[in-house]
Amino acid sequence: DTGVSQDPRHKITKRGQNVTFRCDPISEHNRLYWYRQTLGQGPEFLTYFQNEAQLEKSRLLSDRFSAERPKGSFSTLEIQRTEQGDSAMYLCASSSSRTSGGQLYEQYFGPGTRLTVT
Amino acid sequence: DQQVKQNSPSLSVQEGRISILNCDYTNSMFDYFLWYKKYPAEGPTFLISISSIKDKNEDGRFTVFLNKSAKHLSLHIVPSQPGDSAVYFCAASDTGTASKLTFGTGTRLQVTL
C-alpha cells in the first residue's frame, strides 16, 4: 500500500491558462474524491467517483472544472481558463465501498496539489 | 452555512496533559464522524472515527466522544506530545448518500514543553 499520490505537488500558472492534476488512489479503493482547501478553511468537497462513474458534483465545481476517472483507477482534474480565485490546495482522497473491519467510510488523502494563479 | 463547526481556532497544551478538541454539527443526517490531523504542506491524515451508534471510541492515546442529542463530539489526546502539534479537522458524513465528508475549519493544537 503506497498511499494516495498526487502530481504535481505545486503548480504556478498565469490567469487564463488551463491546468491538469493527477491523482493515483490506493490500489484496492474503488471510490475517489476531490476536495479543495483554501487558507483557514477545511477541505470542501468537489466531486466523487465510484469506479469510473462520476456520481456527485458540488455546486463549487463550475463549468471550467472537469474531472475524469477513465478506467476506474487514476483520476484527473482539469481547470480551464484559471482565475485567481482558483488558487487553493487541491486534495484527492480514496476509500473503499466494501466493508472491512469497520473502515468503510474512512477516506485517505494524498499530499495535495497547491495551485497558485498569478 | 457551516454544518460542522470548530469554534476554537487554536489550543495550547503542556506536554503530558490532556488536549480536548471540540466539534459541533447541525445536520441531523450525519451519522459518521472522523478526526483528521494535518501538518503544513501535507494532506490530512486519518486519526479516528466514530459511528452514531456509539458514544465513544478509543485508539491508543486518542478517544472520540459523541453526544448525539447535543450534536457535539470531542477528541481527547492523553498524554499530549510535542509531535501532536498540528491542525485537527473534524469531519462528518451522511453514509446514506455519497459518504462525502463535510469538514470543520480546524483547530490548531500546540503542545508545549
Q: Give the per-residue pLDDT at B2.
A: 86
**What CA–CA distances, in Å, run from B32 to A53, B25, B28?**
24, 11, 11
Contact between A110 and B46 using a beta-carbon 8 Å cutoff: no
Q: Give the per-residue pLDDT at A100.
A: 52
Give residue-wise pLDDT tens across range A46-79. Answer: 999 999 999 989 988 889 999 999 988 999 999 9
Answer whether B30 touches A (CB < 8 Å): no
Give residue-wise pLDDT tens across range A24-38. Answer: 999 988 999 999 999
Give residue-wise pLDDT tens across range B3-19. Answer: 999 999 999 999 999 99
Phi, psi dihedral angles at B82 (to 5 degrees): -55, -35
Q: Is the pLDDT of residue A105 over 90?
A: no
Distance CA A111, CA B20 (A): 26
Q: Give the per-residue pLDDT at B38.
A: 95
Label residue A1 by pLDDT band (50, 70, 90). Answer: low
Q: Which of A56, A105, A110 sits opposite B43 (nearest CB)?
A: A110
Q: In this structure, what C-alpha cell is assigned to residue A89?
A: 490546495
Q: Provide residues of A within 8 Å CB-CB of chain B.
A: 4, 6, 31, 33, 35, 40-45, 48, 55-56, 91, 93, 95, 102, 104-112, 114
- Residues in chain B where the model's pLDDT stays below 50: none
Contact between B43 and A91 using a beta-carbon 8 Å cutoff: yes
